[in-house]
Structure 1
Amino acid sequence: MVSQLEAPSLNPAVSRPYVLEGLIQVFTSPHRSFFTNVMAQALRIAGQGTPVLVVQFLKGGIHQGHEHPVRLGENLEWIRCNLPRCIDTPQIEESEARSLQELWQHTRTVVAEGRYSLIVLDELSLAIHLGLIPEAEVLEFLRTRPNHVDVILTGPDMPPSLLDLADQITELRRSHRP
């Protein structure tokens, strides 16, 4: 669900009468198996012509970094840390911390520039809980992003301060029926 409405115009000098304010969506779950649902939404929106950025803060293993985004179609860029492994502990090497901070700074910069209409910040809550990205910086980022930008936050145990800012919260849980 994207709040940005765009209609093609034959005259680019004509401004649109209004732009809807971007939403903050949270997808949270005690398990880590719901990224496919969020990615499907991002791909669908990108397929409609909306610029999308997917950022995976704790995933590594492919030495990607923000300098080498994976492009899925014309409108979706997918970036990860430039790391040889996935981060799953607060004890990381200095080079890993530097790579994560570079990715966070890059994300903040491109969002401030208004290059994307939808931003997916995958496993952001884990990065906060591990002490790798300060919660205060995330709150400031969300409050100061361009008005039209939608943000999707994912991860287990989302901090209450982020839930308070959210326009939509989706909690995924497993149900067992006999």
Structure 2
Amino acid sequence: MKKLERGLIHIYTGDGKGKTTAAVGQGTRTSGGGYKVLMTQFLKGDDTGELYSIEKMAPNFEIKRYASIKNFYRNLDEAGRQRVQQEAQEGISLIKEALEEEQYNLIIMDEIMAVMYLEIIPVEVVINLLKNKPEHVEMILTGRNAPEELIQLADYVTEMKMIKHPFQQGIYARKGIES
């Protein structure tokens, strides 16, 4: 497997649309360059377009989902929360193993900020992953509410800021655009 010259850390955060889309775009570019990409998605349960696009880019671009939910985490009962916590931990374990075995050039942790914000996985666990990643592995973390500790650690930080959004007019997620 060829290696990147140097792997950096990206954060796509903020309340605006486009965090996952930006991560998928970078993954597409990286995969197209002949590098291996792993995208881990947390807390997403809907059938979304990126699943099918990424599937077509296999084996250079893989996607795995952990702690999938169709509703808000806070609305889950205790058993549901425990399931989500266990599955999120499985996702973190996969990422740790992928880093240790240097299986990928780019690892995307989609919605990891929500996982930390909801205290499903401690911020320190993610910081530890980033601090111990191989030098040539690029990392992208997405989601609202990026912790300041991660912002300080990252090389790129992009904030998507919502100025106007169709849901303010009662237009919900549309297939092929928002999902």
Q: TM-score per shorter chain, which class?
A: 0.7 to 0.9
Deviation of 1:117 after TM superposition, in Å, equals: 0.7
CA RMSD between the two structures: 2.3
**Alpha-carbon distance between aligned partners in 1 of 2:162 and 2:45, rounded to the nearest angstrom:** 27
Distance 1:137 1:173, change over 3 A: same
Distance 1:128 1:168, change over 3 A: same
Residue 173 (structure 2) aligns with:
none
Matched ranges for 1:6-155 at <5 A: 20-60=5-45, 70=55, 72-81=57-66, 83=68, 85-86=69-70, 88-90=72-74, 92-155=80-143
* Contact residue 19 and residue 143 of structure 2 kept, 8 A: no
Deviation of 1:146 after TM superposition, in Å, equals: 0.8
Deviations 1:89-125 (A, max 9, x none): 2554322321221121111111221000101111111
**Alpha-carbon distance between aligned partners in 1 of 2:81 and 2:19, rounded to the nearest angstrom:** 28
Distance 1:113 1:86, change over 3 A: farther
**Alpha-carbon distance between aligned partners in 2 of 1:166 and 1:104, rounded to the nearest angstrom:** 18
Residue 170 (structure 1) aligns with:
158
* Contact residue 26 and residue 166 of structure 1 kept, 8 A: yes
**Alpha-carbon distance between aligned partners in 2 of 1:100 and 1:71, rounded to the nearest angstrom:** 25
**Alpha-carbon distance between aligned partners in 1 of 2:81 and 2:162, rounded to the nearest angstrom:** 35
**Alpha-carbon distance between aligned partners in 1 of 2:111 and 2:67, rounded to the nearest angstrom:** 16
Gap regions ≥5 residues in structure 1: 7-18, 63-68
Deviation of 1:40 after TM superposition, in Å, equals: 1.5
Deviations 1:35-88 (A, max 9, x none): 1122122112101110000010111357xxxxxx956333001000264x3463
Which structure has more RCO (C-alpha within 8 Å, separation ≥ 6)? 2
More helix by share: 2
Question: Which amino acid is the alignment partner of residue 37 of structure 1?
Answer: A
Determine which structure has more spread, i.e. the larger CA radius of gyration: 1
Deviation of 1:20 after TM superposition, in Å, equals: 3.2
